[in-house]
Amino acid sequence: MLSAEKKKELEEAIYAFVGKPIGPPFTGRDVVNEPMIRQWCDAMGETSPNYLDAVAAEKSPHGGIVAPPMMLQAWVMQGWEMHEGYDEPKNEEHRLHKLLTDAGYEGVLGTDTEQSFSRYLRLGDAVTADTVIEHISEEKATGAGVGYFITTRATFTDQNGAELGWMTFRVLKFIPNQPQQAASDDDGAAQPAKPARIKPPMGHDNSWWWQACTDGKIQIQRCGGCEKLRHPPRPMCGACGSMEWDAVESSGRGTLHTYTVIHYPQFPGYEFPIIAALVDLEEGVRMMSSISGCDYEKVEIGMPLQGVIHEDEDGFALPIFRPREDSQ
Amino acid sequence: MTTRSFSSVDTGEALPPLDIETTAALVVGGALASRDYTPVHHDRAAAQAQGLPDVFMNILTTNGLVGRYVTDWAGPDAVVTGVKVKLGGPNMPGDTLKIRGKVVAADDGRVDVEVTGENSWGNHVTATVTVALPGA
């Protein structure tokens, strides 16, 4: 963690980059050529004759071989030198990244990009990119870690100075949450950990409730003094102040109090969209849960629901609700 | 290979699904074909230092696959005029990238196709590709 003073210093330094070109315009090392197009098409599974077959392409609206439009940026990538990283910055963008790396923001991930193409590139075109650091966000907390979003804007021109298109590109420079253990102990092959639901905090006052879920029961806490039911679990009765309690098993029958549908962001470990629901159980308490087995467009406030215990692949159990057919 | 005419396209049309097996060859080959030698796309140790279990696909490859998916449907003479791409979780070797798409707008000879790519981590990419079609 940076001290407040160090962080202020860092932010002053990085925000000074906004609006600066990363360096002089960069012209790609090679003009648009068939071998690079073919290599791209092999990897992407492209079979369009307009990229690969000179005879067929001649009859196309382009009048000859063109490069796949999504290759635009590839013509001005630095290539081999990128593998060395940027310990010795070569342009303003590297200098900006290094400032952040040195302050602990070691990770970098592309997050989004937008491109516009004025025309397709033909063999022999020489592409030049003029790139500006357009924006740096305030510090954000993300799933990958805390960091800054950096947006660059590149304008692409041809050998005559005519515009070929433009691209914005946003990366997150971040402090990685947790490095993975390098390898398993047998063959050294690391398996991707299958992402699972984020687990709730469990402590003295509520872990019994989650344990009951694992045992297949939806429980409701009952005051030992006045017998009032309460949920979620907590140590003291809000009605009479008693700290004595036991629990009763819920029938799971309830009605939908309100809901919201979560489409985005799509965290790993969940199925989207999520219908997040507040359910009024017939015993008289309200429970936060989710609805499955029902198209979200068919969900209605007041609909009858039945709670069941759902078990994730990793064994974690929790109540979810389904539409209830009977209307008793 | 024929190119779709604009008049034959309606909003809501679903594109044929495409499932792509993500291999190390695709991740590394795609990165190098786009001249992206950033170590996380070819060196597992570098990816692990960033908190991921394996090398992961670079944006240019994801873009390339999304572009190919749309033009495979639209035909070779469709002209891609723009793309917006939002990346979600990583796409790594051993996973299947399930690409789906549908037409979300068709206006004045141009068609917007919304494309999603899902794998076992969830959403990998959401993109909108704009193509100009003949026969407006």
**Average pLDDT for residues A26-39, to the nearest whole number?**
97
Helix B59-74 with A34-44: angle, nearest 10 deg: 80
Nearest chain A CA: its distance from B10 CA (Å): 23
Contacts of B50 in chain A (CB under 8 A): 106-109, 176, 179
Mean pLDDT of A181-185: 40
| B66 in reach of chain A (CB within 8 A) | yes
Task: Please tell me the pTM assigned to this model.
Answer: 0.69
Residues contacting residue A102 through CB under 8 Å, at least 6 positions apart: none
Chain A residues near residue B38 by CB distance under 8 angstroms: 82-83
* Predicted pLDDT at A176: 81
Residues A141-156 pLDDT 10s: 887 789 999 999 999 9
Q: Of A182-186, A214-218, B26-30, B132-136, where does mean pLDDT reach its minimum?
A: A182-186
Q: How far is CA A46 from CA A98, B8, B118, in A?
A: 37, 24, 20
**pLDDT band, very low/low/confident/very high, at A1 (cuts 50, 70, 90):** low
DSSP string, B60-124: HHHHHHHHHHHHHHH-TT-EEEEEEEEE-S---TT-EEEEEEEEEEEETTEEEEEEEEEETTEEE
Q: What is the structure's pLDDT at A199?
A: 86
In chain B, what are the domain boundaries? Answer: 6-22+57-132
* Set of chain A residues whose Cβ sits within 8 Å of the Cβ of B4: none
* Res. A308: pLDDT tops 90: yes
Dist CA A32 CA A122 (whole Å): 7
Question: Tell me, what's the pLDDT at A267?
Answer: 78
Q: Average pLDDT over chain B, rounded to whole? A: 95
Query: What is the nearest CA distance from B76 to chain A, expressed in angstroms?
Result: 6
How many other C-beta atoms can be found within 10 angstroms of the C-beta atom of residue A178?
A: 7
- Residue B49 vs residue A220, higher pLDDT: A220
Judge whether residue A188 has pLDDT over 50. Answer: no
What residue spans in chain A does CATH classification 2.40.50.840 cover?
207-323
pLDDT of the residue at A118: 97
Locate B74 and state its tokens.
């639209």
CB within 8 Å: A192 and B67: no
Is A319:A309 a contact under the CB 8 Å cutoff? yes
A3 CB-side CA count, 13 A: 3
Distance from the B38 Cα atom to the nearest Cα atom in chain A, whole angstroms:
5
Using a CB–CB cutoff of 8 Å, tell me whether B64 touches chain A. yes
> Is pLDDT of A182 > 50?
no
Q: What is the pLDDT of residue A2?
A: 80
Q: How many CB pairs under 8 A join A and B?
A: 165
Least reliable range by pLDDT among A20-29, A49-58, B49-58 = B49-58
pLDDT band at residue A326 under the 50/70/90 scheme: low
Q: Taking residues A281-296, what's their average pLDDT?
A: 95
User: With an 8 Å Cβ cutoff, are A74 and B71 in contact?
Assistant: no
Question: Domain A207-323 adopts which CATH fold?
Answer: OB fold (Dihydrolipoamide Acetyltransferase, E2P) (2.40.50)
Q: What is the pLDDT of residue A178?
A: 60
Average pLDDT over residues A10-37: 96
Comparing A9-18, A37-46, A76-85, A237-246, the range with the smallest average pLDDT is: A76-85
**Residues of A whose CB is below 8 A from B52:** 180
Chain B contact set for A50 (CB, 8 A) = 76-77
Predicted pLDDT of residue A143: 76
Picking from A95-104, A169-178, A252-261, B88-97, which range would have the lowest pLDDT averaged per residue? A169-178
Average pLDDT over residues B33-43: 95
Q: Is A208 helix (H, G, I), strand (E, B) or coil?
A: helix
| CB nearest A85 (choices: B39, B61, B88) | B39
- Answer whether B87 touches A (CB < 8 Å): yes
Condensed to tens digits (0 to 9), the pLDDT of residues A102-121 reads 999 988 888 899 999 999 99
Residue A328 pLDDT grade (very low, low, confident, very high; cuts 50, 70, 90): very low
CB contact under 8 A, A195 and B38: no
Are B122 and A270 in contact (CB < 8 Å)?
A: yes
Partner-chain residue, chosen from A107, A117, A195, that has the shortest CB–CB distance to B81 = A117
CATH topology of domain A4-27+78-176: Thiol Ester Dehydrase; Chain A (3.10.129)
Instruction: State what percent of residues in chain A have pLDDT above 70.
Output: 93
**pLDDT tens-digit series, residues B63-101:** 999 999 999 999 999 999 999 999 888 999 999 999 999
Q: Containing H/E element for A150?
A: strand A145-157
Q: How far is A73 from chain B (nearest CA, A)?
A: 8
B positions 96-115 inside 8 Å of A (CB): none
Contact A70/B64, CB-based, under 8 Å?
A: yes
Q: What is the pLDDT of residue A193?
A: 61
Contact A269 B122 (CB under 8 A): yes
What is the per-residue pLDDT across A197-210, written as a single tens digit (0 to 9) for each? 888 888 889 999 99
Q: Does B91 touch chain A (CB under 8 A)?
A: no
B22 touches chain A (CB under 8 A): no
Q: A-chain residues within 8 Å CB-CB of B60?
A: 70-71, 73-74, 77
All CATH 3.10.129.10 domain ranges in chain A, comma separated: 4-27+78-176
Give the nearest chain B residue to A70 (CA atoms): B64
Q: Does domain B6-22+57-132 have CATH number 3.40.50.720?
A: no
